[in-house]
Amino acid sequence: MTEPISRRGFLKAAILAPLIPSLLAACRRSSDEKVVNFFNWSNYIGKDTLPEFTKRTGVAVRYDLFADEDEMFTKLRAGARGYDLIVVGDYHIPRFRALNLIEPIPAAELKNRGNLGPRFRSPVYDPEETTVPYLWGTTGIAYNRKRIKKAPTSWRDLWDPQYKDRVSMLDNVRDCISVAMQLLNIPQTTRDPEDFKKIRELLVKQKPLVKQYSSASYLNSLVAGEIDLAMTWSGDLFQTARENPDLDYVIPKEGTYMWVDCLAMMRGARHRADTLRLIDYLLEPDVAAGIANSVRYATPNLAAQPKIDKELLNDPRVYPTPAVMKKLQLHHVLDSEQSELWSKTWADVKVA
């Protein structure tokens, strides 16, 4: 057992291991195969949703997960082939389109598209309806009721020095910069470098309080008491609160952002017909309600509403009251120049 062999063997295994599934996939690749390759957020579907689809149609679903949308984007951009259906945040759609990663889903071929609520028809981020809304939610503040005496009410509370080392922020450009903009009263349409300097300063000022920038593992930290206050996505927190009932969710008084995660078809999807079948299936009221009841995000599917658990449907944290709804805004659709300013600013915050 000499050193170079062990090390090389280890490296080889490390490099090859991730390739094995794709090699296997490559061997079996044929378009008449009854399968759909679906790439979705982790914890973002009902337990029976896909098995039920397979049982009903005989079409298998190869389900792959991501926990970070930038990572997902990087993977697809770097040429990960073979996915037919992906879930994309509303504000990412222009980016996917610019890089020619997705193709329009023909609305005419979906018989259940009409189940969607009016708010989700021809939205600003996708006026031609080339994607299909899947679930929506808000970005807000999670906190541990036992350990934070005074419930947070404002985004400012995430900057309160008494919570030093107990805060986590989503590791996400859009959410963090949007909140800084909201606090500074800067419109999302800005391109003024001075504005971005102020945003950077505000976020850097918060850094000594922040224990984690994280979009997934902070949920475990909340359960384990590693942190007590977190910027979070609504449904993720409601799922986590099943493990620790002391966790609660607040939509800050300044208002917040709502986002709509959409189903999008990959360009050149090999299993087109079955992908459309799956999308149509996901739009069925029972199926959509099943998903929403399980992941605790809000469904854009109006026809599914009667089948949503009453306790969820009446929970203003999940389906906000009309007054709060008015204060919810969609993320502005950024052009490429703005999106570069945003990510540069966020990168600078990380480095500082």
Partner 1 sequence: MSRALSWLLGGRTPLATHLLLAPASFWLLFLLVIPALGLIVLSFATNGPYGTIVWEFGFHNYARAFDPKYLPVLLRTFAFAAATTVLCLLIGYPVAYYLSFRAGRWRNIMLVGLMVPFWSSCLVAYYSWMIVLGKEGLINANLIRFGFLSEPIGFLYTPFAILLGLVYFYLPFAVLPLYASLDKVPRSVVEAAYDLGAGRWTAFRKVTLPLSLPGVVAACLLTFIPCLGDFLTVEILGGPRYYLLGNLISNQFMMAQDWPFGSALTSLLLAGLVGGLWLYQRWEKA
* Residues forming the site for partner 1 (CB under 8 A): 1-3, 6-7, 10, 14-15, 68, 70-71, 73-74, 77, 94-95, 98-99, 165, 171, 173, 207-208, 210-213, 217, 220-221, 224-226, 335-337, 339-340, 343-344, 346-348, 350-352
**Long-range CB contacts (within 8 A, 24+) of 12-20:** none
Residues 136-167 as b/e (b if ≥16 CB within 10 A, e otherwise) read bbbbbbbbbeeebeeebeebebbbbeebeebb
| Encoded amino acid at 298, one letter | A
Q: Of 83 and 346, which CB lies nearer to partner 1 in the complex structure?
A: 346
Minimum distance, C-beta of residue 285 to partner 1, in the bound complex (Å): 36
Phi-psi category of residue 88: left, alpha or beta, with phi > 0 → left and psi -120 to 50 → alpha: beta
- Give the other-Cβ count within 10 Å of 344's Cβ: 14
Both tokens assigned to 129: 């309806």
Give residues with Cβ within 8 angstroms of 283, minimum separation 6: 110, 112, 113, 115, 116, 132, 301
Minimum distance, C-beta of residue 44 to partner 1, in the bound complex (Å): 20
Q: Of 162 and 220, which CB lies nearer to partner 1 in the complex structure?
A: 220
Minimum distance, C-beta of residue 39 to partner 1, in the bound complex (Å): 16
**What DSSP character marks residue 116?**
B
Q: Is 108 exposed, middle or buried (0-12, 13-18, 19+ CB in 10 A)?
A: exposed
Element (H, E) at 12: helix 3-16
Minimum distance, C-beta of residue 351 to partner 1, in the bound complex (Å): 6
Minimum distance, C-beta of residue 181 to partner 1, in the bound complex (Å): 18
Q: Of 15 and 323, which CB lies nearer to partner 1 in the complex structure?
A: 15
Q: Of 245 and 306, which CB lies nearer to partner 1 in the complex structure?
A: 245
**What DSSP character marks residue 232?**
E
Q: Of 23 and 224, which CB lies nearer to partner 1 in the complex structure?
A: 224
Minimum distance, C-beta of residue 226 to partner 1, in the bound complex (Å): 5
Q: Of 151 and 224, which CB lies nearer to partner 1 in the complex structure?
A: 224
Q: Of 153 and 217, which CB lies nearer to partner 1 in the complex structure?
A: 217
Minimum distance, C-beta of residue 191 to partner 1, in the bound complex (Å): 14
CA distance 63 to 39: 6
Q: Of 48 and 340, which CB lies nearer to partner 1 in the complex structure?
A: 340
Minimum distance, C-beta of residue 343 to partner 1, in the bound complex (Å): 5
115 phi/psi in degrees, rounded to 5: -70, -15
157 alpha-carbon distance from chain centroid: 24
CA distance 317 to 62: 33
